[in-house]
Amino acid sequence: MDITTKLRGVDLRSSFLPGRALLPAGNPRIPPKLHPFWVSPSQSGRICASLVKRAGFYSTRRKGRSVRAVAVETVVSETETQDDIESLFSESSSGDVAAKKPGKKKSNSGASGVSSGIRLENISKSFKGATVLRDVSWEVKKGEKVGLVGVNGAGKTTQLRIIAGLDEPDSGNVVKAKENMKIAFLSQEFEVCPRRTVREEFLSAFAEEMEIAGRLEKVQNALEKATEDLTLMGRLLDEMDLLQRRAQDLDLDEVDVKISKLMPEYGFAPLVSDRLVASFSGGWQMRMSLGKILLQEPDLLLLDEPTNHLDLDTIEWLEGYLNKQDVPMVIISHDRAFLDQLCTKIVETDMGVSRTFPGNYSEYVLAKAAWVEAQYAAWEKQQKEIDHTKDLISRLGAGANSGRASSEEKKLERLQEGGQIEKPFQRKQMKIRFPERGRSGRTVLMIKNLEFGLRFDQVNRNDH
């Protein structure tokens, strides 16, 4: 039976006034396709007409009496409405604000043995059986800017990904100065949304603050509509109080101030606040991306090739800006001048092994050359000693000198097992020579009476 047909001519808007509907939990007499809202004629004032999609009369028994009731299918189901209201409330309304407070976290500094930043301890990582990192150890502290260098595929990005928790090491630890450390990662692909305005883009950095602001607004709206339901009003007021305390902890009122202060630092005039991100060049989008990251006040900043695709002016701006920050930083860059301007320490990864050199890139190049030289000299000296000992053993042989021969053998064992110095690995430098050639003159190539053809037997051979 089509209940809607039966209702034809009934003006629902005049019959049902805004309000909440009653729910006849699982009443089997209401057709399943009709949403089980029902109101008896005496309760008809409690349904919101704007929500009504279909409705119909039906008979039911209440307290032994047969009553005519109305089944109503609503646009928004009762369950959804109920869920919407419930979604406004925090999981725990105990008001444990401190536990949720970001930025004011309990510091366990010292417990890990790292006062600030992070330390990599014996990190190893292989991909498909190929070892990329072998017992890699180094650290970065507050005020330090570490440049990660190495040839393509040396494992630089892998180290950043392990620090950021995007990859797991096979063995070893990343020791952090505190739990829940905020680690920011600026990669070559700047994370900006082209459809946002500049101000909206910066606002998106305050995800938690924006969530609280949005929830506060929803609770406020719900409160205005809940004037007839005192229980709900009470719950909403409690929720509002909780949210307001969280907003205070997060300095919600300061968000706009922070953005207004930051924009000129990044070169954005107040006038461009409402311009779309899409209308800015890559360099300006990088500024937004970096700005958003630093607005979150990270404990560690990871930068992977930040200067790629940037013009010279923006690179210089970036150098100046990063130089003023004392947040621990790890930078991967093939731009030596950039590393020279910023780095306080260089960590080189070569054949899976890392070595730390104090200073900037140029200082690293000199120190590395000196290290290779010293290492080579030490290796050569040890090789001579090994050869000499071997020679001595073979000459002493058995007999009266056997005692001395055996002590030399022990010495050789010690040299070969424990203290053997590794020969420093030096990559072959590619040498490209362009021989001097005289000027070619005006005519570079002249072809005269050239003929070309194939013999019949050659054509046949090619066919097979």
Ligand X SMILES: Nc1ncnc2c1ncn2[C@@H]1O[C@H](COP(=O)(O)OP(=O)(O)OP(=O)(O)O)[C@@H](O)[C@H]1O
Binding site for ligand X (CB under 6 A): 127-128, 132, 150, 152-158
Smallest CA-to-CA distance from 123 within 115, 131, 114 is with 131
> Are 186 and 180 spatial neighbours (Cβ–Cβ below 8 Å)?
no
Nearest distance from residue 323's CB to ligand X, in Å?
Answer: 24
Nearest distance from residue 133's CB to ligand X, in Å?
Answer: 8
The number of beta carbons lying within 10 Å of the beta carbon of residue 389 is: 18
CA distances from 379 to 105, 154, 371, 372, 374 (A): 50, 24, 12, 10, 9
Nearer to ligand X, 132 or 347 (CB): 132
> Are 302 and 163 spatial neighbours (Cβ–Cβ below 8 Å)?
yes
Lookup result for tokens 């005289």: 438
Nearer to ligand X, 156 or 176 (CB): 156
Nearest distance from residue 125's CB to ligand X, in Å?
Answer: 8
Nearest distance from residue 337's CB to ligand X, in Å?
Answer: 17
Nearer to ligand X, 66 or 152 (CB): 152
Burial class of 324 by CB neighbour count within 10 A (0 to 12, 13 to 18, 19+): exposed
What is the H or E stretch that residue 415 is in? helix 402-417
Nearest distance from residue 122's CB to ligand X, in Å?
Answer: 18
Nearest distance from residue 151's CB to ligand X, in Å?
Answer: 7
Nearer to ligand X, 153 or 358 (CB): 153
Nearest distance from residue 285's CB to ligand X, in Å?
Answer: 21
Nearer to ligand X, 132 or 198 (CB): 132
> Are 216 and 240 spatial neighbours (Cβ–Cβ below 8 Å)?
yes
Nearer to ligand X, 156 or 199 (CB): 156
Nearest distance from residue 188's CB to ligand X, in Å?
Answer: 10
Helix ranges (DSSP H) in 324-401: 336-342, 361-396
Nearest distance from residue 360's CB to ligand X, in Å?
Answer: 19
Nearer to ligand X, 125 or 178 (CB): 125
CA atoms within 13 A on the CB side of 56: 19
- Name the maximum alpha-carbon separation found in the chain: 127
Q: How far apart are CA 99 and CA 35, in angstroms?
A: 41
Nearer to ligand X, 308 or 375 (CB): 308
Q: How far apart are CA 74 and CA 72, in angstroms?
A: 6
Nearer to ligand X, 74 or 354 (CB): 354
Nearest distance from residue 164's CB to ligand X, in Å?
Answer: 13
Nearer to ligand X, 333 or 360 (CB): 333
Helix ranges (DSSP H) in 250-351: 254-265, 282-295, 312-323, 336-342
What is the DSSP pairing of strand 52-62 with strand 65-74?
antiparallel
Burial class of 177 by CB neighbour count within 10 A (0 to 12, 13 to 18, 19+): buried
> Are 212 and 295 spatial neighbours (Cβ–Cβ below 8 Å)?
no
Cα four-point dihedral sign 291, 292, 295, 298: negative
Nearer to ligand X, 85 or 132 (CB): 132
Give strand ranges (E) for 40-129: 52-62, 65-74, 118-127
Nearest distance from residue 350's CB to ligand X, in Å?
Answer: 10
> Are 214 and 246 spatial neighbours (Cβ–Cβ below 8 Å)?
no
What is the H or E stretch that residue 13 is in? helix 12-15
Nearest distance from residue 158's CB to ligand X, in Å?
Answer: 3
CA distances from 70 to 3, 44, 333 (A): 10, 8, 71
Nearer to ligand X, 157 or 173 (CB): 157
